[in-house]
Chains A and B, each alone.
Chain A
Amino acid sequence: MGFFDTLFEIIRLSLFVAIPLLVVALAGLFSERSGVVNIALEGIMVIGAFSSAFFMGIIYRATGLDGNWLFLIGIVIAIVFGILLSLLHAYASVNMNANQIISGTALNMFAPAFVVFIAQALTGYSKVQYPANSFFISETVFSNIPVLGPTIFSKTFMSVYIGFFLLIVAYIVLYKTRFGLRLRSCGEYPQASDAAGINVRKMRYIGVIISGGLAGLGGLFYIVPITGNYDANYAVYGYGFLALAVLISGQWKPFRILVVALLFGFVARIASMTTLIPFLENMNLSTELLYTIPYVVTIIVLAFTSKNSQAPKAAGEPYDAGKR
């Protein structure tokens, strides 16, 4: 393989890591911009991944439906279950003024245990099977255009297009609509928003619900390119937390989040594809050492980008109308 072929191949595969991270970081973005810290992203991803894999498997076996119509159904299921779990977080952090980190941690503990319990209670196994191969898009009409053809428009999944689409939608919603302005104001100065007639609690509920839907979807996007045999025991390997790191490194801004997610996906892919890169292969690094690279790189990136943190000012604080 020539240099460019290798590069394109790595980019194509790195999108499978970057897109779920992007979608889940956008999930965190909506929640935090409304003023609710959502570290439950990991748990919501697990629920989204498991529920959609489980139901897609059932539908496939019952009706024989596969391909991207089934994938679309899976998307709806992932979003619905993600929202359901996030409602628990919204109730705790908006209605009950609970500590948002504790509530999120509880959901992160709950989700992986719950899916294993459910899987074993219903099927006797911790694994669920679904026809992931049939979601694969081997070529499109754009496959022959240079650069984008081999990276985005062939041998890919629909999740890649939906991911980019969601990024644009998120940007427009947050920055070009009245709703977005209001949502962001609730994360900065909720007391002022309240005084201006905005229902802060309602906006935060909406923020967390959008977050839940996106994180559930991110869970599905994470597992589809990896396997058609999802093992509930393995959850999502901390990708919800990685998405949180992407959100922070991206300074809570949609397009910066994209850049960080792409970078991260690229690094993670290079680490797992050393056989394609002679220079890295010659170094003969052990698998485990390569696996640490994404996490170590994240820490280093955070060290350089956290100094001037531009976090929403009111994120993490329960809304107290008495502070107006």
Chain B
Amino acid sequence: MSDKNNIFKPAKNIWNKGMNRLGKFSKTDAGESILSSILAIIAGVMFGFLLMLIFVPSDAFGGLWIIISGAFQKGNESFGNFLMYAAPIIVTGLSVGFAFKTGLFNIGATGQFTVGAFAAVFVGVRWTFLPDGMHWMVAVLAAIFAGAVWGLIPGLLKAFFNVHEVVSTIMLNYTAMYLVILGVKTYVYNSLYSESASVVSEAVIPKMGLNLIFPDSSINGGFFLAVLAVIVIYIVLKKTTFGYQLKAVGYNKDAAKYAGVNEKISTVYSMTIAGALSGLAGAIVFLTKAGAHISTTYSLMSQGFDGIAVALLGLSHPLGILASGLFFGYIKNSGFYLQSLSFSKEVIGIIVATIIYFSALSMLFRNLVKKIFAKHVEDVKGDDQ
């Protein structure tokens, strides 16, 4: 044996051990899903890189580096901003994922988010008679309520009129967009900038200590609200009869009905809760000092659609949604720095879409995971004997 082999041997051993562990992990259900999601992410980022390489080769490597290192570009400011972008899409992700669990596809997160945003801003600007400590809470609750109503409508339509929620929520997205713009123009308009007026400072969600960790970022307690929502939804889905019933309807509507679950009411509840979550996300974005204002241009807000990506990549599991929400917040944040090169931030949109497409091809990636670890899993078996 030559010296060369001896030098590499320890490294090879560590590699093999690591691969064996991962191989074992890939055998479990959760492990298989997580690893195939990670492969989808890598494939998506590579696709974005490829596009940059084709169109602007000179900036491509710089672009890839910014995407990967985004949140660390400017120390605590960029890291705090990354968490700030992650917070609302974690919550819209929860909204979409929660509806998924009941077998419903909530494309309407955008509309629910929009009405929530308007309710929060309306209360934040106009209801100055509220006591200081309560103002932001009332604004958040108003957003949750408005979102819930906007989720209730497609829920009722689905349960009692058999209207497919995909179509009705899309129609409600556009309805919400136009109505909210009308509402902004009528009640809380800043005509100078053609956007909603700033909320008063008592209505801003408090920083809750985050300003000490991230002094340069405009992040606020909204991030904690997002984490709280994850915990609540986790408990509802895993530990309560109510959550179990909703999931039962999602798995098999007829079986659930047979077992005594009212599947119509479950549908209504599920959409209402999903709407409430998206409404909360609207409050998280717009109850800030950072200058978030509702624009009066005719375009849908993106956070709801991001929620779809978050939920799909997170496999609708609350903890998976937390993780994928953080991931998408991370690359979204990178997207802003990407504009310093000659790229539009749409590169991130393309990457996100590619990741979702690849995660739809879960079969392909699951097979790939199996292939990668096939050798190592057999090694593990060999060790056991």
Contact = CB atoms under 8 A, between A and B. Distances in A.
Interface of A: 39, 88, 92, 96-99, 101-103, 105-107, 109-110, 112-114, 116-118, 120-122, 233-234, 237-238, 241-242, 244-245, 248, 286, 288-289, 291-292, 295-296, 298-299, 302-304, 306-307, 309
B299 A234 contact: yes
A110 B350 contact: yes
A117 B362 contact: no
Given A106-B354, A286-B185, A292-B178, 12 more contacts: A96-B363, A105-B308, A113-B346, A113-B349, A118-B55, A241-B171, A242-B171, A245-B171, A295-B175, A299-B157, A299-B163, A302-B161
B178 A291 contact: yes
B54 to A, nearest CB: 9
A36 to B, nearest CB: 13
Interface string B123-157: 00000000000000000000000000000000001
Contacts, number: 142
Query: Which of A109, A118, A120, A303 lies at the interface centre, i.e. has the most chain B CB atoms within 10 A of its CB?
Result: A109
Contacts of B166: 39, 101, 244
A293 B55 CA distance: 42
Contacts of B346: 113-114, 116-117, 120
Nearest to B160: A303
B359 interface: yes
Contacts of A291: 174, 178, 298
A123 to B, nearest CB: 12
Interface string B211-232: 0000000000000000000000
Contacts of A121: 55-56, 343-344
B55 A109 contact: no
A289 B308 CA distance: 28
A306 B167 CA distance: 11
A44 to B, nearest CB: 14
Given A117-B346, A292-B179, A302-B167, A109 B356 contact: yes
B157 A303 contact: yes
Contacts of B107: 105
Contacts of A88: 357
B301 interface: no
Contacts of B323: none
Interface in B299-354: 299, 305, 308-309, 312, 343-344, 346-350, 352-354
